[in-house]
Amino acid sequence: MNKRSAYLLMLLLVIGIFSSIFIVSADVQRTCIDDSECMPYGQVCRGGVCVGGSSSNSALSQAIGSVSGFIQQVYTEVGVPVATLLVGNTNASGQQLTGDLVFAKFLFFILVFSIVWIALKRIPIFSQYNWALWVGSLVVSLLSIRWIVDEAWIKAIMLPHEAFGIALSAFIPIALMFVLIEYSFSSKVMRKAAWVFSGTVFIFLFLFRSFDAKGNVIDTYGPTYAGFLTPAYIYIVAAIICWALFAYDGTIQGALARSKTEAELSSYKQDRVQELKRDKADLAQDLRNGLINAVDYKTKVKEIDDKISALMKI
């Protein structure tokens, strides 16, 4: 399999996964309280669910249902048996694992397979024979994942990846705000105002997600930890970061200015060193042509070397 085919297969896999998610979610029956919640979909509220709609909506719903049923059938008759064969679906007690855990094991299998593939490709005997590379990667990956049957171990492996996803997803907005505010706003007042406003927004988001209009704690994120902690406290952390960036705006700008100056100085040093090296080459050419004597050549070369040494120390 060449690289183009592998990339195409991965692209089709990703498109298939997201299409199935969209199709299945599009066919979910919507709950409602009154007709206003169903009107955007051309439906009415009956018995707590949105029903009815135009003939075009019904036709679309039937088409989506057919495609969704086909995907579900392929998943049940092909996907589940293949995943079960590769990674197993029973725990140490012989009980079946949940679908989420089997899917997690399958993703671990893909991850281990990719890493093993890269490692074995560096070994000459495997890199020379593609079949050996495929077989070795597949066997090592299966042996690594197939007999992890303890649910606790599966969840323990999942936890760092979950933490990575949460941390990265939560950090990206702060990083984008940092780039926008610190690099785009030349006014110190505007930068400080932006950080104060951002921190305040995060505080209001925390309050909005944690308390109702009467000040009662609402169960937006499910059960709390240690009696009071919920995921909403990430807004508090984000607000603290924003206010810290507000307080250290001068330090940040100073560091950015020094970084810019160092980059410009480095570029100047490189250009200047190249010029001095060309001067040395010209002196050597002049010496060969008899335009200068050896004493003058050595003197001037020493001066150029001293200048290069002085530049490198800056």
Each residue's pLDDT expressed in tens, for the chain with a length of 314 residues: 566 666 666 666 655 554 544 444 444 456 677 776 666 556 777 767 776 654 444 555 556 666 666 777 776 677 667 766 767 666 656 666 666 777 778 788 888 888 998 998 888 888 888 888 888 888 888 888 877 777 777 778 888 888 888 888 888 888 899 988 988 888 889 999 999 999 999 898 888 877 765 656 665 555 555 556 677 788 888 999 999 999 998 898 888 888 888 888 888 888 888 888 888 888 888 888 888 888 888 888 888 888 888 877 76
Chosen domain end from 62, 86, 110: 86
CA–CA separation, 62 and 174 (whole Å)? 43
In terms of domains, do 159 and 242 share one? yes
CB-based contact 217:228 (threshold 8 Å): no
In terms of domains, do 78 and 3 share one? yes
How many structural domains comprise the chain? 4
In terms of domains, do 188 and 239 share one? yes
CA–CA separation, 71 and 24 (whole Å)? 9
- Domain range for residue 37? 1-86
CB-based contact 242:195 (threshold 8 Å): yes
> Which tokens hold the place of 143?
């042996």
Chosen domain end from 197, 229, 247: 247
Q: What does pTM read for this prediction?
A: 0.53
In which element (H, E) is residue 144 found? helix 130-145
CA–CA separation, 43 and 63 (whole Å)? 18
**Which residues are CB-contacts of 150 (< 8 A; sequence separation ≥ 6)?**
91, 92
**Residue 91 DSSP symbol:** -
> Which tokens hold the place of 133?
């590379």
CB-based contact 235:205 (threshold 8 Å): yes
Chosen domain end from 64, 86, 108: 86
CA–CA separation, 45 and 40 (whole Å)? 12
In terms of domains, do 159 and 241 share one? yes
In terms of domains, do 284 and 204 share one? no
